[in-house]
Amino acid sequence: MKIIMLGAPGAGKGTQAIKIADKYGIPHISTGDLFRSNIGNNTELGREAKQYMDAGKLVPDELTVRMLFDRVSNEDCKNGYVLDGFPRTIAQAEVLEEEVGKRDDRIDFAINVDVPDDHIIRRMSGRRACPKCGATYHIEHVPPKKEGICDSCGEQLILRNDDAPETVQKRLDVYHEQTQPLIDFYDKRKILRTVDGTKDLQDVFGEIVKILGD
């Protein structure tokens, strides 16, 4: 099964993608996590990507596409994957369609996690992230067992650089301009499914399971 998660920054794509990956036994691939891991390892790609990420802009398609295809060519992606944060531009979606098509394959579903902007801005200020393993928490909705500490690996949680309110607003603008057109793109291909991302995260997951099947 090949699934794409669509939605604004902070809509809950990552949260749901992890649950999908777990239930259906496919890898969760987040381009944001791949970039952050490159930044952590101080690779050339990481240094290049960081400037764009800190400014709330998209990393250029060429760098992003190369990194993504490198990852999905791994053996563990043979039976599918859930993509979180890719594609984010029409150009990325077109390249993905072409690549998948070369293998006589197709994307099964694009799940659009729908959350209005004002809701996103409130939600993002409470997001906390683990810089080591990528786990995401929320100070009210998804608190870690021990305040400020990652449940999975014990690392100190951080507020991401790009989750500052000014940068979130910039990222939302970029989303509306460059990523939202993908909703129409996948609707035309009859694989778009929209879920209400303002609901409790278990309810959102319930809606997704209804779409994907048990």
Q: Does 211 contact Zn ion by CB under 5 A?
A: no
Distance CA 184, CA 12 (A): 20
Q: Does 129 contact Zn ion by CB under 5 A?
A: no
Out of ligand ADP, Zn ion, none, what residue 150 binds, judged by CB under 5 to 8 A for its kind, is Zn ion
Q: Which amino acid, 100?
A: V
Sheet with strand 81-84: strands edge to edge = 28-30, 81-84, 2-6, 109-114, 192-196
CB–CB of 92/13 below 8 Å?
no
- Per CB under 5 A, the list member of 61, 99, 108, 155 interacting with Zn ion is 155
Q: What residues between 105 and 134 interact with ligand ADP by CB under 6 A?
A: 123, 126-127
Out of Zn ion, ligand ADP, none, what residue 195 binds, judged by CB under 5 to 8 A for its kind, is none
Q: What residues between 4 and 43 interact with ligand ADP by CB under 6 A?
A: 7, 9-15, 30-32, 35
Q: What is the separation, in whole angstroms, between the first and last Cα of the chain? A: 13
Q: What residues between 77 and 106 interact with Zn ion by CB under 5 A?
A: none
Q: Does 149 contact ligand ADP by CB under 6 A?
A: no
Q: Is 207 exposed, middle or buried (0-12, 13-18, 19+ CB in 10 A)?
A: middle
Q: What does the binding site for Zn ion look like in residue numbers (CB under 5 A)?
A: 130, 132-133, 135, 150, 152-153, 155
Active site residues per annotation: 13, 88, 127, 160, 171
